Amino acid sequence: MRLLVFDDDPMIVQLVADVAGQSGWSVETATREAEFRTRFAAGSPDAIMLDLQLGASDGIQQLQFLHRHGYTGVVALMSGFDTRVLAAAQQVGQSLGIRIAAVMEKPARVARIRAVLREIETVAAMLPDPPPTAPPAARTRDEAITPALIAAALGGGEMELHFQPIVAAGGRSVCGVEGLIRWHRHGGLVRPDAFIPIAEQDEAVIDQLTRWAVTSGVDCYRRLAALGLAVPIWINISGMNLHSLDFPDEVAALLERAGVPSDAIGLEVTESVAMRDLGAAAVILTRLRLKGFALAIDDFGTGHASLEALRQMPFSSIKINKSFVDHLQSSPDAHAIIKSIVDLAGSLGLTSVAEGVDSAETARLLTELGVACLQGYYFSHPLPFDRLTEC
């Protein structure tokens, strides 16, 4: 049986190749994407062991490559990331119709590599039908004139990002800042709820808006860093952005050009959006996570997320919906729901964040419940950059 091993770390490649060779496999190796694709094209291997982090590229791109080439062999995934990232990547692979026989956390000992090779052999011997390919993401398109007005406002400098601090529940130090878009129009401020849904009617416009928001967030990060106050800036992204396969590369390139690390920017996705098209969202979100971006599931508790879906998605934070926080003092139900979300976040290794905290008593109760981070008018309203640094 032919095995192709692809990892950008030559030492791992050598170790896996040695162990597989001893187990009777005929092994080929690659440490760069071009090499991997050439070896693959030269003769489809029976099995592939694929690392998820590959320097300039990533394992999800290679799974998509294998999908495009109708690969019917067996794949084992390797990663130094935590098990949830591996599980998310496994889910993406399966939704593309790729047979994922095993996942292997790195660093791996020889015994574990042998066990993974045995799992590959077992799956290869059974040759089950691959799972059906996920349907393409649904797209909505509306050529209404109003998105054009938003595009013009973005180009014309009418938009501004305001910033709201997120504080650690324990010490109250600022541990992040959320960017919230504002539209200065006819001498007044237009709130995002009034125009984001309209921008979303046109994919190009919502893409332009998100790029603008990320760029403004990066600028805020650099200015804070220059003052010795660097904290991650959280940017809201739209569900429409999760339809674009290039989105992770575009965001990463934008940060690279600005010379800021990917942990400078976190991305918030509303729960309902993330759950709407699990397959498509998982591809984009997993690639973003592999590129080093933190991801938050926003407005959690209202979008009917299945727990299984939450387990498969590579989020790093859960933002508890404001509606529960609003009723915390008056409703035992809201109290119980927040408590279970905090427990859920704890057991999944996610950071819990409460939004809409508007009083000292609410902040105290949330801290008592174990919520990690707090955000709301009690600490600060969203502010223009210059006023943010005055706080």
Residues near Ca ion (CB under 5 A): 236, 268, 298
Nearer to Ca ion, 79 or 321 (CB): 321
Q: Coil, strand or helix: which one is 317?
A: strand
The whole-angstrom distance between residue 250's C-alpha and the CA centroid of its chain comes to 14
In the complex, what is the shortest distance from the CB of residue 367 to ligand C2E, in angstroms, rounded to a whole number?
Answer: 16
Quick one: what does residue 217 bind among ligand C2E, Ca ion, none, with the CB cut-off 5 to 8 Å set by partner type? none
**CA atoms within 13 Å, Cβ hemisphere of 197:** 3
Interface residues with ligand C2E (CB under 6 A) are 164, 180-181, 191-193, 196, 213, 236-238, 268, 298-299, 355-358, 376-377, 382
Quick one: what does residue 374 bind among Ca ion, ligand C2E, none, with the CB cut-off 5 to 8 Å set by partner type? none
Quick one: what does residue 47 bind among Ca ion, ligand C2E, none, with the CB cut-off 5 to 8 Å set by partner type? none
Backbone angles phi, psi at 238, to 5 degrees: -95, 155
In the complex, what is the shortest distance from the CB of residue 180 to ligand C2E, in angstroms, rounded to a whole number?
Answer: 4
Quick one: what does residue 191 bind among ligand C2E, Ca ion, none, with the CB cut-off 5 to 8 Å set by partner type? ligand C2E
The whole-angstrom distance between residue 377's C-alpha and the CA centroid of its chain comes to 27
Quick one: what does residue 92 bind among ligand C2E, Ca ion, none, with the CB cut-off 5 to 8 Å set by partner type? none
Pair 374, 367: CB distance under 8 Å: yes
In the complex, what is the shortest distance from the CB of residue 318 to Ca ion, in angstroms, rounded to a whole number?
Answer: 12
In the complex, what is the shortest distance from the CB of residue 319 to Ca ion, in angstroms, rounded to a whole number?
Answer: 6
Nearer to ligand C2E, 205 or 252 (CB): 205
Report d(CA 99, CA 46) in Å as an integer: 11
Quick one: what does residue 193 bind among Ca ion, ligand C2E, none, with the CB cut-off 5 to 8 Å set by partner type? ligand C2E
Residue in the shown chain whose Cβ atom is closest to ligand C2E = 376
In the complex, what is the shortest distance from the CB of residue 382 to ligand C2E, in angstroms, rounded to a whole number?
Answer: 5
Pair 380, 391: CB distance under 8 Å: yes
Annotate 3-65 with DSSP letters as a single string. EEEE-S-HHHHHHHHHHHHHTT-EEEEESSHHHHHHHHHHS--SEEEEESEETTEEHHHHHHH
Report d(CA 297, CA 278) in Å as an integer: 13
